[in-house]
Structure 1
Amino acid sequence: MKKVTKAIIPAAGLGTRFLPETKAVPKEMLPIVDTPTIQYIVEEAKASGITDLAIVTGSGKGSIEDHFSSNYLLEQNLERKGKDEMLKAVQKTNDMNIYFIRQAYPKGLGDAVLTAKTFVGNEPFVVMLGDDLMTDKVPLTKQLIDSYEKSGASTLAVMRVPHEETVKYGVIDPIEEVSDGMYDVKQFVEKPAPEDAPSDLAIIGRYLFTPEIMDVLETTKPGKGNEVQLTDAIDTLNKTQKVYAHEFKGDRFDTGNKLSWLETNIEFALRRQDLSDDLKAYIIDLANKLEK
């Protein structure tokens, strides 16, 4: 069995929910406190043993490439001034092999993944979506890799969501729980209405695939929204080789809309020793003012 060392991060979306900010700034570069959202995804990949990363971008996304390029003058300046912690922060992912692939047209998530077919070759790989930040004792990507090393099968992450929200997600139709948190799946359904949803287990932004998914994506016709849906390709793959679902029980932070992005910023700031006390005091003071 080949070791999982490659990951794809689709980052070609237009980010229309965050206009006007995303007219010039990629939504993946919007900060959570002081760190671009995509940086958290790359750091999760590194912590999970990923060494080679392909970021799929589109027009106007050049700042992502700039961010992950080594800035010698900045690093030299920080080193000379003895700002060691800042230097470590900007060098965190310097030792990773990061490649950039351009998606010519916005044809959907499935098409974005397919653009990295040559990068993947004949190896298993991970897909990591930038709208979802995951925290747990063991990184979610590492959890999927550990599951793959036992089963040898494609495995995607799912999480329980309120039933009325199933229309926002791909949802699994589970056959049975074959082990703790691991499900054998009958069908994968893209954004079902609540009355049609086969379960409350929604697909979240981490996937581990065998390379055969690329062949399936090449023949997958556009689905909902006239886009190539990754969920449709997963359902097709499941008919010829097993695809499992791994239930994530850690914390998930959705950065895909303005309110959830603000909430994520607040929670991440409250977890930081250098900010938590002052921020708590501010929130309490603000709440008292608003009550008057």
Structure 2
Amino acid sequence: MRKVRTAVFPVGGLGTRFLPATKAMPKEMLPVVDRPLIQYAVDEAVAAGIEQMIFVTGRGKNAIEDHFDRHYELETTLGERGKKEVLAQLDGTRFAAGTIAYVRQREPLGLGHAVWCARHLIGDNPFAVLLPDELLWNPARPCLKAMIEAHAEVGGNLIGVLDVPREHTHRYGIVSPGAQRGALTEVRGLVEKPKPADAPSTMAAIGRYILEPAVMDKLEARKRGAGDEIQLTDAMAELIGGSPFHALPFEGTRYDCGDKAGYVTANIALALERDDIGPEVKAWIDANVR
């Protein structure tokens, strides 16, 4: 069974929900406490053993490339001043040459199109897809790590899922479930953003995927789906029956950082976990929130 070594990060979106903050700054660079959102997704990939990272970018995303590049002036200055602890905070932003590749998505044609843009770098290998908007928080057992361990047993295609309220099914790709295999659920169908009355379950895809390269052949057809976009969910649905397809529930806390309320909540929750600032933040909340 081929090991998952590559991850795709679709980061070409316009970030219109966070305007005007995202007019000149990628939404993926918005900080959650003191790390940009994209850093959490990259850290999750590294913890899962990913060796090659592909960022599908667009216009105005240069800050992402700069973030994962060397900053010689900063590093030299910190080194000369003996600020080793501060310098160590940059470790997760620096990678060996060739570890990261960038591909530009010229048109905003949907998530499926963004993934398809990475096809030549993927080749004939299984790969992961991580949506940075979804901050899936479980430092002890990161979502992608759990998925890769499960994939080593069953192979095929695998998606991370979370149970959501039925009234929210229109926001997600929803699984039509089959047989259970331990924590895994067989995926018999996928429906993109169904109405609550039509949803086959409340098991929602949450932005973590392990896919066989055959999905690129489905995306090649450039079929339009919900929102008149090329949907990854639709292409994945066409793979069902051709190879194993399972869903794995995420055990942790999900923060939807594509939403303002979710983003603010993530900042508060992760700040409260910090030893350096948590007590001060909690004291403010206790004194001011009723």
TM interval, short-chain normalised? over 0.9
Report the Cα distance in structure 1 between the residues aligned to 2:44 and 2:84, rounded to whole angstroms. 22
For 2:260, which of 250, 258, 272 is the aligned residue? 258
- Displacement of 1:50 after TM fit? 0.6
TM score, norm. by length of structure 1: 0.96
The answer on 1:24 being equivalent to 2:27 is no
Give the letter aligned to residue 33 of structure 1. V
Give the letter aligned to residue 252 of structure 2. G
Give the letter aligned to residue 3 of structure 2. K
**Counterpart in 2 of 1:57?**
57
Report the Cα distance in structure 2 between the residues aligned to 1:269 and 1:85, rounded to whole angstroms. 20
Q: Is the 8 A contact 1:70 1:91 kept in 2?
A: no
Q: How does 1:121-200 map to 2 (within 5 A)?
A: 121-136=123-138, 137-179=140-182, 181-200=183-202
Report the Cα distance in structure 1 between the residues aligned to 2:201 and 2:258, rounded to whole angstroms. 23
For 1:113, which of 89, 106, 115 is the aligned residue? 115
- Mean Cα deviation higher: 258-267 or 233-242: 233-242
**Counterpart in 2 of 1:271?**
273
Give the letter aligned to residue 232 of structure 2. L
Give the letter aligned to residue 155 of structure 1. L
Q: How does 1:69-80 map to 2 (within 5 A)?
A: 69-80=69-80
- C-alpha deviations, 1:186-227, integer Å up to 9, x for none? 110000011011111000010001111111111240111110
**Number of aligned positions between the proteins:** 287
Give the letter aligned to residue 111 of structure 1. H
Report the Cα distance in structure 2 between the residues aligned to 1:267 and 1:250, rounded to whole angstroms. 13
CA, structure 1 residues 183+220, in 2 after alignment: closer, same or farther (shift >3 Å)? farther
Q: Is the 8 A contact 1:43 1:93 kept in 2?
A: no
Q: What 5-or-longer segments of structure 2 have no aligned partner?
A: none
C-alpha RMSD over aligned residues: 1.1
**Counterpart in 1 of 2:215?**
213
**Counterpart in 2 of 1:204?**
206
2:191 alignment partner, SS class: strand
Report the Cα distance in structure 2 between the residues aligned to 1:274 and 1:237, rounded to whole angstroms. 47
- C-alpha deviations, 1:145-192, integer Å up to 9, x for none? 11111112110101101111111000001012122x201111100000
Q: Is the 8 A contact 1:41 1:133 kept in 2?
A: yes
The answer on 1:222 being equivalent to 2:220 is no
Give the letter aligned to residue 64 of structure 1. I
Q: What 5-or-longer segments of structure 1 have no aligned partner?
A: none
- Displacement of 1:37 after TM fit? 0.2
Report the Cα distance in structure 2 between the residues aligned to 1:271 and 1:83, rounded to whole angstroms. 25
Give the letter aligned to residue 242 of structure 1. P
Q: Is the 8 A contact 1:55 1:101 kept in 2?
A: yes
1:199 alignment partner, SS class: coil
Report the Cα distance in structure 1 between the residues aligned to 2:22 and 2:137, rounded to whole angstroms. 26
Identical-pair percentage: 45
TM score, norm. by length of structure 2: 0.96
